[in-house]
Amino acid sequence: MTKSNPLIGIIKYLQVIGHRMVERIWRLGAGARLFFLTIIYSGESFKRFHLTMREIYATGVLSLLIIIVSAFFVGMVLALQGYNTLQKYGSSEAIGVLVALSLVRELGPVVTALLFAGRAGTAITAEIGLMKTTEQLSAMEMMAVNPIARVVAPRFWAGVISMPILATLFSMVGILGGYLVAVPLIGVDEGAFWSQMQANVDFQTDIVNGVIKSLVFGVACTMIALFEGFDAPPTAEGVSRATTRTVVISSLTVLGLDFVLTSFMLVI
Amino acid sequence: MDRTKIDLWVGIFVALGVASLLGLAMKVGNLTSGKIGETYSVTAAFENVGGLKSRAPVKSAGVVVGRVDNIAFNSKTYEAIVTIYIDKRYHFPKDTFANIYTAGLLGEQYVGLEAGGDEEVLKNGDKIAKTQDAIVLEKMISKFLFSKASETNADAKQSTSTTQQETKPAVAKSTELGDPPF
């Protein structure tokens, strides 16, 4: 009797872990199903494009403020920190290359995705979670309106369209911020700043890869936000939990995907 | 939030995105500075190209007149064949020197063209006959050490006329390597 008690405790603990793992994998499968259904029912979001336009406004345009201001400050900090280290080796004219490559290759797509998940992703999750709680999605099904085609797909395509635009905007404004710190403030030569940047930033390997990354992150972040909202328990607590889950899972996914994509791109 | 306002803002948003992509491509990347205008291509054979890469600049008198296009290896003569594009506005005589210099002390390498005095000019597909290889740091150091060693050997012997003749070519060699870049 005394020997079986700790064993039962361990077995129960293992069962709990196993149950949680199975539930997570089940949710992953449900998310994949929602993804495929979204793609299949996407016709309406392009035929009635004003639906998608409204969502582009909600996810893209309303995120402009945070993206532009963050980009500006990130670019300025990059220039400051970069200059601090480069001038020890007499290479302070490489500051343009440093700022441009850091932004275009990595910081542009990744930081934009994190901010996008925080701002637009949570908005999407809360909105759909609330629609589910107030039974609007069920009402749509009653009226023979496909809720995925009407609610989920336009938001998905809006996120996919907005993310690359936001990421390139981030890179551009960041480079501008870096320029404003490096040339007027610190005194790096303007011609050297731009010419070294142009010599070392390649359109195909750097800029296009950055856009591809931002597209992938857009798909991931938007789909995670949509699924968390769609699958949220229809209570107030459930919706708020789903919102935080969106941010956490989107951020982890973006960083993991960034590593995978970068390792592919650097090899090729 | 009526439709016209949404349309306007989404239009501005997409226009901003396209503008930033174009800005990145032109200003930051090297999409436009590929070949400005018409060019003609010329080849040159080097024994050692050092760290020369394709798209390195080709300069004459310090001005960029073209780009390095392709660096290939000739397995018969064991030389590197460098194809360069030169802007059509600039003509170089047939006895032009092609040298590989380094920008700064340890910067990237580029091809420098020094015009000769021939009346005929290089045309598309011609070969530059006179070339000088890149300076390889290790060879320079070993030559310097060798010349230093031969100098000390000459001092150790009694000064005869033959040793004085030996030191003069050694000194001349070390200055020949010290050609300053543009």
Kindly state whether residues B67 and B108 are assigned to the same domain: yes
- The residue ranking higher by pLDDT, B167 or B91, is B91
Tell me if B83 is assigned to some domain: yes
ipTM over 0.85: no
In total, how many domains does chain B have? 3
Residues in a beta bridge with B113: B98
Task: Inform me whether the pLDDT recorded for A72 exceeds 90.
Answer: yes
Please list every residue in chain A whose beta carbon sits closer than 8 Å to the beta carbon of residue B26: none
Task: Tell me what the mean pLDDT of segment A240-266 comes to.
Answer: 94
Chain B closest CA to A91's CA: distance in Å? 10
Distances (CA, A) of A149 to A41, A162, A211, B112: 5, 19, 27, 63
Tokens describing residue A88: 């020890």
- pLDDT at res. B176: 52
**Residue B144 DSSP code:** H
pLDDT band with cut points at 50, 70 and 90 for residue B172? very low
- CB-CB contact of A182 with A193 (8 Å): yes
Task: Inform me whether the pLDDT recorded for A31 exceeds 60.
Answer: yes
Task: Tell me what the mean pLDDT of segment A8-31 comes to.
Answer: 93
Ranked by mean pLDDT, the top range of A130-144, B36-50, B109-123, B139-153 is A130-144
pLDDT band with cut points at 50, 70 and 90 for residue A91? confident
- CB-CB contact of A91 with B104 (8 Å): no
The conformational region for residue A50 under phi > 0 = left, psi -120 to 50 = alpha, else beta, is: alpha
Task: Tell me what the mean pLDDT of segment B141-157 comes to.
Answer: 84
pLDDT tens per residue across span A126-144 = 999 999 999 999 999 999 9
Instruction: Give the contacts of A214 (CB within 8 A, at least 6 positions apart).
Output: A108, A109, A112, A113, A163, A164, A166, A167, A168
Tell me if B182 is assigned to some domain: no
pLDDT band with cut points at 50, 70 and 90 for residue B177? low
**Closest alpha carbon to A61 in A168, A162, A169:** A162
Are B1 and A203 a contacting pair at CB < 8 A?
Answer: no
Task: Inform me whether the pLDDT recorded for B86 exceeds 50.
Answer: yes
- pLDDT at res. B9: 92
Kindly state whether residues B127 and B47 are assigned to the same domain: yes
- pLDDT at res. B89: 84
Kindly state whether residues B81 and B155 are assigned to the same domain: no
Of A173-177, A222-226, B36-40, B92-96, give the lowest mean pLDDT range.
B36-40
How many DSSP H helices and E strands does chain B contain? 3, 8
Kindly state whether residues B128 and B43 are assigned to the same domain: yes
Interface membership of B15 toward A (CB under 8 Å): no
Tell me if B23 is assigned to some domain: yes
Mean confidence (pLDDT) of chain A: 92
- pLDDT at res. A166: 96
Distance CA B119, CA B109 (A): 29
Task: Tell me what the mean pLDDT of segment A4-18 comes to.
Answer: 88
Distance CA B3, CA A53 (A): 9
Size of chain A, expressed as the number of residues it contains: 268
Kindly state whether residues B48 and B126 are assigned to the same domain: yes
Mean confidence (pLDDT) of chain B: 79
| End-to-end alpha carbon distance in chain A | 62
- CB-CB contact of B96 with B113 (8 Å): yes
Please list every residue in chain B whose beta carbon sits closer than 8 Å to the beta carbon of residue A57: 1, 6, 9-10, 13
Distance CA B10, CA B4 (A): 10
Ranked by mean pLDDT, the top range of A214-228, B94-108, B163-177 is A214-228
Kindly state whether residues B8 and B44 are assigned to the same domain: no
**Closest alpha carbon to B55 in B38, B35, B39, B41:** B35
pLDDT tens per residue across span B57-66 = 888 888 888 8
**Mutation test of the interface with chain B: which of A53, A54, A61, A179, choosing the one with the most B Cβ atoms within 10 A?**
A61
Are B10 and A53 a contacting pair at CB < 8 A?
Answer: yes
Task: Inform me whether the pLDDT recorded for A85 exceeds 70.
Answer: yes
Tell me if B86 is assigned to some domain: yes
Write out the residue range of the structural domain in which residue B63 sits: 39-132
- pLDDT at res. B38: 79
Is the Cα dihedral B2, A132, A149, B13 positive or negative? positive
Strand-strand pairing, B130-132 and B109-114: unpaired
What stretches of A87-152 show up as alpha helix (H) in DSSP? 95-101, 108-116, 122-133, 136-142, 147
Q: What share of chain B is helix, strand, coil (3-state, %, to 5)?
A: 35, 30, 35
- The residue ranking higher by pLDDT, B168 or B118, is B118
Distance CA A203, CA B26 (A): 9
- CB-CB contact of B181 with B150 (8 Å): no
Q: What is the longest distance spanned by two Cα atoms in chain B?
A: 102
The gap from C-alpha A243 to its chain's centroid, in whole angstroms, comes to 14
Kindly state whether residues B70 and B46 are assigned to the same domain: yes
pLDDT band with cut points at 50, 70 and 90 for residue B30? low
Kindly state whether residues B150 and B128 are assigned to the same domain: no
Kindly state whether residues B141 and B126 are assigned to the same domain: no
**Closest alpha carbon to B94 in B125, B56, B58:** B125
Distance CA A173, CA A94 (A): 19
Are B20 and A50 a contacting pair at CB < 8 A?
Answer: no
- The residue ranking higher by pLDDT, A255 or B57, is A255
Kindly state whether residues B122 and B151 are assigned to the same domain: no
Kindly state whether residues B61 and B128 are assigned to the same domain: yes
Side-chain-side CA neighbours of A43 within 13 Å: the count stands at 3
Are A168 and B17 a contacting pair at CB < 8 A?
Answer: yes
Interface membership of B17 toward A (CB under 8 Å): yes
The torsion angles phi and psi of B80, rounded to 5 degrees, stand at -95, 125
Please list every residue in chain A whose beta carbon sits closer than 8 Å to the beta carbon of residue B28: 100, 104, 171-172, 175, 197-198, 201, 207
